[in-house]
Structure 1
Amino acid sequence: MNQFGVLLKKEWRENLRNYKLFWIPVVFILLGIMEPLTNYFLPQILDSVGNLPEGTVLEFPTPLPEQIMAAIMGQYQLVGLLVIALAYMGTIAGERKSGTATLLYVRPLSFMAYFMSKWVMAAIISLLSVWLGFLGGYYYTYLLFGSINWVDFLQFGATYSLWILLVVSIVLVSSALMPNAGLAAAVSLGVIFISQVIDSLFGTYWPVSPLKLPAYAASWLEAAPDLGDFWWSAGLTMLLIALLLALGIFLSEKKASTTKV
């Protein structure tokens, strides 16, 4: 436990030094507030840059507040996941390739503490970023389009947070498996996006799946999802995260010998 605390402090300092603690939340906040602002000012934007004939009147249906929040989540599903993968692709692979991991491996090291310290810090920053973005989007959605039930919003955010933890786990396991950060990013993004494409094409055949969590998150804003399917999906996700953590610890130890000296 003491080693875990020391390694966690190391990760904290590293994330401060490379500004991940600042720029990742900023990206998510910008994504969160841009969606309601863009939807609200879209007619004026098109009118100013569209070169439309004089007298043209643009009318757009006013989106519901719930639709705005779901659209923010849609931005996170593309840009947000890409940011997380690129930010943490070199967490383990980068240390091995650069040789900095040698400074740790020459000491008696608990690879469980080593991997978990990285996972905990990546999870904290990712969840903090997602929630700050959601809260920023919620605030501007409330100002411009109307209110959203607070309980529904919390259920929406909590469900999506579980999905983010799964994404972080996939990224760090890929970093532990691959020899460099580029391959780690390619593998993690490939697994995440290809699995989502498969689910979008054939997902109607399986209502219970970790890949359903974003859809279940959005459904809290309109009508509660089928609770049986939701809890099974959430349970499978937590089990999958636990298995990925165990795999990440194993790979961190097994691949330690590949560290550049």
Structure 2
Amino acid sequence: MSTLAYTVINDADPTAPVLILGNSLGTVQGLWAGVAYRLADDYRVVTYDLPGHGASPLLTDVTLESIARGVLEIADELGAERFHYAGVSISGATALTLATIAPERLHSVTAVACGDFFGGAERWDQRIEEVRKYGTRGLIPDTVDRWFAAGFIDEDNAAGPIVLEMLGNVDDAGYIECCKGLASYDLRDSVSRITVPTLLMAGAQDPGNTPESMEELHERIENSEFVVVPDAAHIPMAEHPEIVTDHLASFLARTSEEY
């Protein structure tokens, strides 16, 4: 049984290609809802929770590879010898990790708002201390400008408050364990060896994983494509699910031709 809790959005056609979607740190499965339901007619779309997030149990010694192996367990349970995977932030890093450890299992990977390195232990030790002092809800004020493009949170759009409430409700211990996984993540010497078809997607206003940094990553991954979502920051699937869906659907169609 998979160590990660997951939901199959559409299980009506067991022969349809499987698409597994992974969330950012501090969010749960609903983050991808606007994209998942748009793609559910053509794919067996699967969403899951990170360790210690939502319905997934708290795990210790979390690494990006252990999360990736949890994803492989989901695919095994669904009988998917090969599958598509798309993830954002920590789950974008999971996409790249999957492409390095299990390329034979993948039709494609899509990595949104991520990099091959997330700053190392010093950065994440500081975040861990913040959570220990103030809890995940205490992170919300500083998160708004990182996650959303300028002005988005002030619009008459429920997506922003819903996603921020996800962060406030995530278990502190689960968040911390995933931070430890990000602290040890480093694929700087590995991404150039990725051969899986890869889509790299950046938010135009993402202050952390900037379009420039993700374009540099694209230049290092031979079989990759690169797109930018306008008027979006770190979680473009919440801000512009229709644009993310269009990019993803087009890429999946091209990489599913041999399915």
TM-score for the superposition, normalised by structure 1: 0.31
**Which of the pair has the greater relative contact order for Cα pairs under 8 Å at 6+ separation?**
1
Structure with more of its chain in helix, by fraction:
1
TM-score for the superposition, normalised by structure 2: 0.31
Structure with more of its chain in strand, by fraction:
2
Kindly name which structure, 1 or 2, has the bigger radius of gyration based on alpha carbons: 1
